[in-house]
Homo-oligomer: A and B are copies of this chain.
Amino acid sequence: MLKPEIRKIVILGAGRLAVNLSMAIHKKGYDIVEVCNRTESKGKRLAWKLKAMYIPEPAMITPDADLYILAVSDTAIPLLLDRIKTGNRLIIHTSGSVKMDVLREVSENFGVIYPSQTFTDHKLLRFRNVPLCIEASSGKNLLLLKSFAGSLSEKVYTINSDQRRILHLSAVFASNFTNFMVAISQELLLENGMDFRILEPIIRQTAGNASSDDVFKMQTGPAVREDRETIREHLQLLSNHPDYKEIYDLITRNIIQRKKKS
């Protein structure tokens, strides 16, 4: 008997994640046969790039693919599941927050490939470095997804649904909130006639510290030094930005507390 294998793939979705993931799959030589997407222009554009067929309506996708990938927003997942028929073929979603088990209603074979990375519109990411977090409904499906994910990326982690939700939450802190901190600093610099690139090296260095096994040990600045004088001065400088002042105050108090615990 032949080893079960993934060859024919259907992609549902044509957003940033769908584009990055499906282009990586396509480049590895898999056959993406159909792209299904509500917005015709986006769906057709992606289908064209993948040499795939564009399908406007979920109910009309082919029933004989080896893998169905839901690369859509969390809210779209249940809507799609109500309309597609995939028999017992393998179906996965790519969400950080949605439980794997929601897929049970359409197939006995299901799983998740969650890339813990953000994708942008303007540039395809090098997929080999994108961490792929996988979960599957059975040992057999896990092996299938492991080998599939492993052909796309060097970083494959097996985690369960609860861990995936925590991972997604952690990524909000590590990526979305850090980005907002940098956006605030950029705003302050520009407002005061300074070149925002002046902080590039310190930001790059801080990101480098993130691979340390105790990031809090790398903490520097007035909060961890409990330099009350500087903290007071900074809060005063922020009097025109009550919102940022509140953020400064809360994070500073947290850093001081955390230091006392450690």
State in angstroms the CA–CA spacing of A177 and B173 once bound together.
Answer: 11
A157: which B residues are within 8 A, CB to CB?
Answer: 194-195, 198
Query: Cβ of A147 < 8 Å from any Cβ of B?
Result: no
**Known: A159-B194, A166-B188, A174-B182. Contact between A118 and B223, CB under 8 A?**
no
Query: Cβ of A260 < 8 Å from any Cβ of B?
Result: no
A224: which B residues are within 8 A, CB to CB?
Answer: 176
Q: What is the chain B residue whose CB lies nearest that of A249? A: B250
Q: How many copies does the complex hold?
A: 2
Interface string of A155-179 (1 = CB under 8 A from B): 1010100110111111111111111
A216: which B residues are within 8 A, CB to CB?
Answer: 180, 183, 186-187
Interface string of A78-104 (1 = CB under 8 A from B): 000000000000000000010000000
Tell me what chain A mostly uses at the interface: helix, strand, loop, or mixed.
helix
State in angstroms the CA–CA spacing of A74 and B226 once bound together.
Answer: 13
A155: which B residues are within 8 A, CB to CB?
Answer: 198, 201
A179 and B237 contact, CB distance less than 8 A? no
Min CB–CB distance A201 → chain B (angstroms): 5
Q: 4 tightest CB-CB pairs across the interface, nearest first? A: A176-B221, A207-B207, A170-B185, A174-B185
